[in-house]
Structure 1
Amino acid sequence: MTTRVHTFCDDALGDLDATALAAAIRSGEISAVEAVEAAIARADVANRTLNAIQVNDFDRARHLARSPGPGVFAGVPTFVKDNTDVAGLPSRQGSLAVAATPARRHAKFTDQYLSTGMVVLGKSTMPEFGFNASTEYEALPPTRNPWNTDYSCGASSGGSAALVASGVVPIAHANDGGGSIRIPAAACGLVGLKFTRGREVPDAHAGEMPVNIVSNGVLSRTVRDTAAFLSQVERYRPVRSLPQVGLVAGPSNRRLRIGVVGRSLPEIPVDAATSTALHRAAERLAGLGHDVREVGLPLPEAEIRAFYDAFLHYWGLLGFSVQRFGSRVMGAGFDSSKTESLTRGLATMFVRNAVRTPQALWRLRRIEARARQAFTDVDVLLSPVVAHTTPELGYLSPANGFDVLLPRLLGYVGFTPLNNATGGPAISLPLDTTPDGLPLGLQLSADHGDERTLLELAYELEQVFGFPRITGHPPL
């Protein structure tokens, strides 16, 4: 039996997105205190089933709501992912190996995030160190998908996705190092935009990474919330090396050249439901007057294969860095004996192939220029987000062990990592549903700095076809 979890009801939040909620607060129709109290009440109820909150900070949120900071989302309640520091709250990185030591100060991106005026209710759950594509653990309950609690909510920003999709908050922090904004957006029926590399204030550890693959952003239920957040990001810290996007307020009349990428590598097959959704979206785009064409892989197959091998090696390098040097980054309380099988397995895999590191890094650094050539002939690429529909809980659990889990992950995450290595922008949109009634997201990618085109096209698709919402079941 399908169990859906939502908290949409006739309270101060209603079914408002962050833009509408902020407008209601500005106008005095409701107060920020009322909005935060409603979100706390929803969180108390939903989290009993979803397990999406790592730690709450409700008392401080109530205090801050009395006088929220200025910004486009002033007074709107939100959550921050567990790998980004919020002063006074621990950042445990989804891991029992990390001590619950409160952060002394906000991360630099947290300051940028809170320049919107949002009020933080706490930290959202994530899988250990963000390495998994499902928010599941070896020794803790999983975070559940509000569309069907037997299924994964995606990862690594899974807790944020579950909280937004279920109506606890209208918008929440997420970040993406291999698909971690776009995958949970696809699983939970949300909008998830990965920015161009460098668009936002860099991640705290970006300067220590040989290749910076992480982008911070949000998960939202509407395109306009994501567009408004991007506009605030630009106002907080303009980036002269990238085209300014500005506030994108709706679709464009411009008709685009859209290339359809229907497959990844032969050993990563795309399932029937995902292929059907992709072709249906392509037909719809063509019906709107866009020039839609099949383009195949954005690079020759041999080059794509070499890229994925390099990305997997880099994934292993990150696992090794955590396992060997975690205490330097996460504090003296870090205990490497408590990490999960995925982290340990990635570290071991790296050690066995450490000699390949210079070549892998060279490939990842080279791929940006090569992949950008795909946008010479098209404006946007349309592809799946993941290679098959959202799996049931347990399929991607680290309790399976590394040797079982890794092939399953590689067969699922076939489309998102390329944009992390190249640094290009990409957005997941809930454009279809599976035969079981779960959301099915598809990805739009563009050249560096061209978030405007992605958002304009996203607006058009949202207005013409609509996005699915959890309905038909009473709230908790």
Structure 2
Amino acid sequence: MALPTDLPHLDATAQAELVRNGDVSAAELVDAAIARIEAINPQLNAVIHERFEKARAEAAGTLPDGPFRGVPFLLKDLETRSLGDPHHAGTEFLKNANFISDRDDYVTTRFRAAGLVIVGRTNTPEFGTTITTEPESHGTSRNPWNTDYSTGGSSGGSAAAVASLMVPAAHASDGGGSIRIPASECGLVGLKPTRGRVPLGPAISDSWAGSTSNGVVTRTVRDTAALLDAIAGPMPGDAYAAPALPGPLAAEVGREPGSLKIGVLDHPLLPGVEASGEMKDAIRFAVSL
């Protein structure tokens, strides 16, 4: 079966629809993503652990009938384990110890239940503590728009992979900007979920006093909404619980927002840090809409 020529540009929602309609198989989607990773990743260093053969076997088998059945996906290599796969958290210590996860974390289980096929794990700085992705353990991730520029961090590997069309979406996490910064630097959609919206456990029940959230980076708002629907909800051991949503977030996409009140900073937060004129003009234009 011939794959659509625009396949790499399709978001996860559209790729899942192709599988549901029988236009492509999950195995074909996964093979195509693996081929793109093999072609692109040497220039970007976004994917640091490959699980290609496991992914091929999963795609050829019986996948859960979730909203993203058959869609290739990447996990950030930080605080989110996947059974039988390395987990280094950007550190030389865990890399040298050859640490292998003995279970799936809750959010990994939910990604799998949504039908996603995990093809690898992405680069992150040591313990996710910086806003660039250049750990000594795995080297620097490069921005696909300009490889001389940073991907941001700490979800820089995930952002580079999605922006370069390796996969349509990838896991990310955020304590102090680690979804939002790479999304902004790589031209993606990045939403930090509310504290307690997505479980962190069972290995971790609390992180950064509740500041850390699991989420995704994507190329479309509808993917971000639908993926958050798939992974949201409390689990035993959660330190925090977010109020239940009134309905699916995916149903809100495209709805007229009504009157909004949005705060805008007109001065830098840090002394000596000044935004470029181009960035200021873009923000002023957005405010004027």
Q: Shared topology, TM-score over 0.5?
A: yes
> How far apart are 1:269 and its partner, in Å?
3.3
Q: Which residue of 2 aligns with 1:244?
A: 246
Please, which of 104, 114, 128 is the counterpart of residue 102 of structure 2? 104
1:28-47 equivalences under 5 Å are 28-47=22-41
Q: Deviations over 1:35-57 (max 9, x none)?
A: 00000000001111111111101
C-alpha distance in structure 2 between counterparts of 1:253 and 1:68, whole Å: 36
- Residue by residue, what CA displacement relative to the aligned partner does 1:348-382 show, whole Å, maximum 9, x if unpaired? xxxxxxxxxxxxxxxxxxxxxxxxxxxxxxxxxxx
The answer to whether the Cα contact below 8 Å between 2:71 and 2:117 also exists between their aligned partners in 1 is yes
User: Per the alignment, in what secondary structure is the counterpart of residue 158 of structure 2?
Assistant: helix
What is the deviation of 1:210? 6.5
1:345-364 paired onto structure 2 within 5 Å: none
1:155 paired with 2:153, answer yes
Summarize the Cα distance change of 1:210–1:25 in structure 2 as closer, same or farther, 3 Å threshold. Answer: closer
Q: Secondary structure at the match of 1:150?
A: coil
Q: Which amino acid aligns with 1:86?
A: S
Structure with max Cα Rg: 1
For residue 230 of structure 2, give the secondary structure of its aligned residue in structure 1.
helix
For residue 196 of structure 2, give the secondary structure of its aligned residue in structure 1: coil
Q: What corresponds to 1:274 in structure 2?
A: 279
1:68 deviates by 1.9
Q: CA 1:60–1:206 in structure 2 vs 1: closer, same or farther (change >3 Å)?
A: closer
What code does the residue aligned with 1:159 have? Answer: G
Sequence identity, in percent? Answer: 43
> By how many angstroms is 1:231 displaced?
1.9
Q: Give CA-to-partner distance per residue, 1:90-139, whole Å, 9 cap, x none.
A: 11001111122221110122112222110000111111111111111346
Superposition pairs of residues 314-393 of structure 1, within 5 angstroms: none
Where 2:209 maps in the other structure, the secondary structure is coil
Residue in 2 aligned with 1:89?
A: 85
> 1:324: which partner in 2?
none
Residues of 2 paired with 1:62 and 1:175: CA distance? 26
Task: Give the Cα–Cα distance (whole angstroms) in 2 for the partners of residues 210 and 38 of structure 1.
Answer: 38
Amino acid at match of 2:41: N
Equivalent in 74, 81, 98 of residue 79 of structure 1: 74
Q: Deviations over 1:319-350 (max 9, x none)?
A: xxxxxxxxxxxxxxxxxxxxxxxxxxxxxxxx
The answer to whether the Cα contact below 8 Å between 1:203 and 1:216 also exists between their aligned partners in 2 is: no
Equivalent residue for 1:175, pick from 173, 176, 180: 173
Q: Are 2:117 and 1:119 equivalent residues in the alignment?
A: yes
Match of 1:65 in 2: 59
Return closer, same or farther for 1:277/1:204 CA change in 2, 3 Å cut-off: farther
- The structure-2 alpha-carbon separation of the partners of 1:138 and 1:270, relative to structure 1 and needing over 3 Å to count, comes to same
Alpha-carbon spacing, 1:158–1:139, altered in 2? closer, same or farther (3 Å): same
Partner residue, 1:141? 139
After superposition, where does 1:436-455 map in structure 2 within 5 Å? Answer: none
1:26 aligns with 2:20: yes
Task: Measure the CA separation in 1 of the matches of 2:135 and 2:208.
Answer: 28
Provide the rounded CA distance (Å) in 1 between the counterparts of 2:242 and 2:132. Answer: 36
Shift of 1:12: 7.7
Instruction: Give CA-to-partner distance per residue, 1:130-160, whole Å, 9 cap, x none.
Output: 1111111346531100001111111111111
Q: How does 1:409-448 map to 2 (within 5 A)?
A: none
Q: Select the structure that is richer in helix.
A: 1
Count of matched residue pairs: 275
Distance change >3 Å, CA 254–CA 42, structure 1 → 2: same
User: Which AA in structure 2 matches 1:55?
Assistant: H
Work out which of the residue numbers 142, 163, 166 in structure 1 matches 2:164: 166
**Counterpart secondary structure, 2:191:** strand
Structure 2: how far apart are the matches of 1:243 and 1:155? Answer: 29
| Correspondence for 1:258 | 262
Given that 2:12 and 2:169 are in contact with CA atoms closer than 8 Å, whether structure 1 keeps it comes out as yes
Go from structure 1 to structure 2 and tell me whether the alpha carbon gap of 1:256 and 1:186 turns closer, same or farther (over 3 Å shift): same
Alpha carbons 2:26, 2:71 under 8 Å: kept: yes
Deviations 1:207-259 (A, max 9, x none): 3546121100000000000011122234787x673443413231315121223
Counterpart check, 1:129 vs 2:130: no
CA shift at 1:11, angstroms? 4.8
Question: Contact (CA 8 Å) 2:84, 2:102: kept in 1 or not?
Answer: yes
- Deviation string 1:280-320 (CA, Å, 9 cap, x unpaired) is 11112xxxxxxxxxxxxxxxxxxxxxxxxxxxxxxxxxxxx
The gaps in structure 2 that reach 5 residues or longer are 236-240
From the superposition, tell whether residues 10 and 82 of structure 1 become closer, same or farther in structure 2 (CA, over 3 Å). same
- Residue 266 of structure 2 aligns to which amino acid in structure 1? G
Q: Would the aligned equivalents of 1:135 and 1:142 in 2 still touch at CA under 8 Å?
A: yes
Determine if contact 1:126/1:135 at 8 Å carries over to the other structure: yes
The verdict on how the C-alpha distance between 1:10 and 1:148 changes in structure 2, with shifts beyond 3 A counting, is farther
Q: CA 1:140–1:124 in structure 2 vs 1: closer, same or farther (change >3 Å)? A: closer
SS at match of 1:35: helix
21-30 or 245-254: bigger deviation: 245-254
* Equivalent residues of 1:263, 1:269 under 8 A apart: no
Instruction: Check conservation: 1:19, 1:225, Cα contact below 8 A.
Output: yes
Partner of residue 210, structure 2: 212
Select the residue among 42, 50, 53 that pairs with 1:56.
50
CA distance in 1, matches of 2:155, 2:122: 8
